[in-house]
Structure formats: C-alpha cells, structure tokens
Amino acid sequence: MPSKNTMNGFAVFMYEIKERRRLNMSGQQLATFCSPLWANLSAGEKKQYDMRAKEMKAQKKATDGDMARRDNVGNIIGTRKNPEEERRKRRQTDQELVTRDWPGKDLMDEKFYFVNFQDMCELSEPDNNTDREWLPREVAIVEYTMRRGIIRIYHAFIDPGPIPKGFRFTCMQKSDAEHKIPIEDFELASNNYPLIWRKMKELLRDGMKDGQDADYEKIKYLMDWMWCRSDDGDLSDNPAGHVCALEDLVVNLLAYSNQPNTETISNASVVSRLDGSHWDYISNTSCEWHEDQETKYCALGIVRRYAFTISDILSQVYPINLTERHVPIRSSTEEVARVLPPESMPTVSNQQRMRGKTRAKEKPGSAGDMRRVSG
Ligand SMILES: [Zn+2]
C-alpha cells in the first residue's frame, strides 16, 4: 500500500514540477528528473502530495462517473491482496501497541484519549476495496483516566476547504440529518490546521499512544489529514499511529481486571453499550454551539458520552470512585427525554454499526449487558 500511495503522490509532485518549471520532457525523463527532488522531501511533505492525489482521485470519480470507478476499483483489486484483511491486521497491531506495557501496571492512572470527528461527508465509496476518506468538520478529544474521569478536553470546528465537485448534496444531507453544522460560511470553523493540530498534540502529547473511538478507520484517516496539513515532522510524530478502537480498549481493560466472567464479554456487547442512547439527553454535554441544536451528533458530546459509558462499564470491575467527572449528575427532570425529530436518527453508516438496534428500546437507567455479566 505505501508504494502505491507514494506513486500517486509522486505523480502529483511531478506534474507540479513540470508546470512550475515549464519543462518539456517525456514521462520517463520527467520521472528521472523528479526522483531526487522527491527523495529530498520530508515525510510530511510527501504525505501532503499523497493526500492531494487521493482528493483528486475522489473528484475524478465524482465527475467521470462509472468509467473512473471501474478503473479505480480495477487498479486497486489488481494491486492489493485483501484490503479487509489488511485493515483487520492493522487494527489488531494497534491494539497490541496500546496494551503492550499494561502487564503489571496499575491502569487506574493510565491516560486515555477519546477522539471523535464529525465529518462533512465520506469521499470514498463505502466498499471494501478502497481506503476510506472523509472531510472533517468538527473534532473533540477528552483526556481520561479511570481514577480521575475526564481531565481535559479539546474541541474545534474545522473548515476543510472547498467541497469537491459532486459532493455538495451529500454534505447538505449529512448536515441536515446529523450534525446540523452549516456546510459553508460557518464563522466558528477554522482552516488554521497547524494551530488546531498543535492544540490536539498538546493534549495528546502526554499519552501519545491512545486515541480511541469506535470509528477506527475514520479517526486514523482524519488524524492523518490534520497532521499532513500541519507538520513536516517524521511519520512517528503522528499520534494516530496508535489509534485503538474503543470497544477493543474496553474489552482489553475488562480482561486485564482479572475479575471473573469478564472474558465472556464480547466486542459486540461493548459496541451496543457505546452506541446506546443512555446519555443522549443530558444537558451540558455537547459543545456550546450544539447545545442549542436538536441533535446528538456533536463531536464533544460523543466523546464525553464515551467517557460516561466507559466509567459505567469499568466501575463494575475496577475500584473507580464515580464522580461528576466520570458520569453526569442528572436531576430527575433531565430523565424526561427530549423528543428528537426523525432526521436525527442515525443514517446508514451508523445503523450498520448498530446492527438494527432500535434506540427507543433502551430506557434510561437500563443496566445493559455488561452489568449483568460482570456484576
Ligand atoms: Zn459540537
């Protein structure tokens, strides 16, 4: 995969050099001319060309329709063995990196970072043959330990630049159905990527290895998206190198607790708890802007709810003294759920993850799978 991406980025680079220097060369001559220049670029610069190549590909796909798609899929099938298998392995490796130094350690003070991005839209076809790509709109990170609960937060709206041709309608639909953030002229969004990235890194620096979310592929991709627009450091600089899926983290933490019965808890039951609506209607969870919107799709609200759910699950097996930094203190009036319009229901991608579970079935206060199994 890296060599293929490099070739794509290299092609963009060659074209740029050719235009800038007004070179009149054959393809082979141009490649020979550009090779040493390319070799001199930093990893971050190369990555930037790779990302531009991907974006151009997505645009081409949108404008050319079927023809380009056939080409694209054909190429990829031709060069890759089994992308699904590759993804599974990558995820397994990341999980191992995160848990590597756990044995013998008191995990109560281990720092974890829960990350969520709300996106404008997905640029790739959601099939198994391509690397998936998104345009970011909002990011939130919470720093969390089991002992202290939520320690610090970071939140920002992102201006990802012009919407690629052919994606405007998808972006509008997604905004209406989920996060409600205007797709253009949103004064709270910033395109100062180096600043956003620096703030993200400041928060992530202490841990540098654990950003977690159930949307594993998306986090990995968008952390790279921010990184390659902001830094020209080497690849190991990117904390996204150690993103671990949230459900994997929870299952591992339960296993490490050495409490009886925890080994029977499946990823699926953890996912269903994380996707549950238990904390959806608690006030002061979303960012200030989203607090006035009738939607639960706020990046900050989502990472905070992850912290609540995880505290709730892990307090069954770890000596966590639950405070309001772990779970919200709710008044009895807040338990009366606000009624959301039907558009706020999850769209296709989320429904897949939820495996058809109906949100309405889960009542506030229901114990869920985990508590029964471990308690
Ligand atoms: Zn928000």
Give the whole-angstrom CA distance, residue 77 versus residue 72: 9
What is residue 62's predicted lDDT score, i.e. its pLDDT? 60
Separation of 178 CA from ligand 1 center, angstroms? 11
Nearest to 325 by CA among 90, 99, 144, 182: 144
Separation of 298 CA from ligand 1 center, angstroms? 4
Separation of 189 CA from ligand 1 center, angstroms? 11
Separation of 269 CA from ligand 1 center, angstroms? 27
Q: With a cut of 50, say whether residue 17 has pLDDT above it.
A: yes
Q: What are phi and psi of 136, to 5 degrees?
A: -75, 150
Separation of 125 CA from ligand 1 center, angstroms? 26
What is residue 136's predicted lDDT score, i.e. its pLDDT? 93
Mean pLDDT of 244-264: 81
Q: How is residue 304 written in tokens? A: 């905070």
Asked if residues 225 and 136 have their Cβ atoms less than 8 Å apart, the reply is yes
What is residue 128's predicted lDDT score, i.e. its pLDDT? 58
Separation of 284 CA from ligand 1 center, angstroms? 11
Separation of 80 CA from ligand 1 center, angstroms? 38
Separation of 6 CA from ligand 1 center, angstroms? 35
Q: With a cut of 70, say whether residue 76 has pLDDT above it.
A: no
Give the whole-angstrom CA distance, residue 220 versus residue 263: 28
Separation of 137 CA from ligand 1 center, angstroms? 10
Q: What is the DSSP letter of 112?
A: E
Percent of the chain with pLDDT over 70: 69
Amino acid in position 349: S
Give the residue, 180 or 294, on which the prediction is more confident: 180
Asked if residues 151 and 145 have their Cβ atoms less than 8 Å apart, the reply is yes
Question: Band of the pLDDT at 24, cuts 50, 70, 90?
Answer: confident
What is the value of pTM for the model shown? 0.64
Minimum mean pLDDT range among 18-22, 145-149, 244-248? 18-22
Separation of 304 CA from ligand 1 center, angstroms? 11
Question: Band of the pLDDT at 215, cuts 50, 70, 90?
Answer: low
Question: Band of the pLDDT at 121, cuts 50, 70, 90?
Answer: very high
Separation of 361 CA from ligand 1 center, angstroms? 26
Residues in the chain: 375
Question: Band of the pLDDT at 175, cuts 50, 70, 90?
Answer: very high
What is residue 357's predicted lDDT score, i.e. its pLDDT? 30
What is residue 170's predicted lDDT score, i.e. its pLDDT? 94
Mean pLDDT of 4-11: 64
What is residue 353's predicted lDDT score, i.e. its pLDDT? 31
Nearest to 75 by CA among 51, 93, 95, 57: 57
Separation of 286 CA from ligand 1 center, angstroms? 5
Nearest to 302 by CA among 112, 116, 113, 111: 116
HEC profile of 38-60 = HHCCCHHHHHHHHHHHHHHHHHH
Question: Band of the pLDDT at 346, cuts 50, 70, 90?
Answer: very low
Mean pLDDT of 248-276: 81
Q: With a cut of 80, say whether residue 263 has pLDDT above it.
A: no
What is residue 289's predicted lDDT score, i.e. its pLDDT? 95
Q: Convert the pLDDT of each residue in 128-153 to its tens digit.
A: 566 778 899 999 999 999 999 999 99
Which segments of 257-331 does DSSP mark as H helices, in order?
267-274, 288-291, 299-314
Separation of 289 CA from ligand 1 center, angstroms? 6
Bridge-based pairing of strands 243-245 and 211-213 is: parallel
Highest mean pLDDT among 94-98, 108-112, 187-191, 362-366: 187-191
Name the average pLDDT for the chain. Answer: 73
What is residue 61's predicted lDDT score, i.e. its pLDDT? 62
Separation of 115 CA from ligand 1 center, angstroms? 13
Q: Ligand 1 (ion): which residues have CB within 5 A? A: 287, 290, 298
Separation of 180 CA from ligand 1 center, angstroms? 9
Highest mean pLDDT among 68-77, 87-96, 324-333: 87-96
- Counting DSSP H helices and E strands in the chain, the numbers are 14, 6
What is residue 278's predicted lDDT score, i.e. its pLDDT? 80
Give the other-Cβ count within 10 Å of 348's Cβ: 9
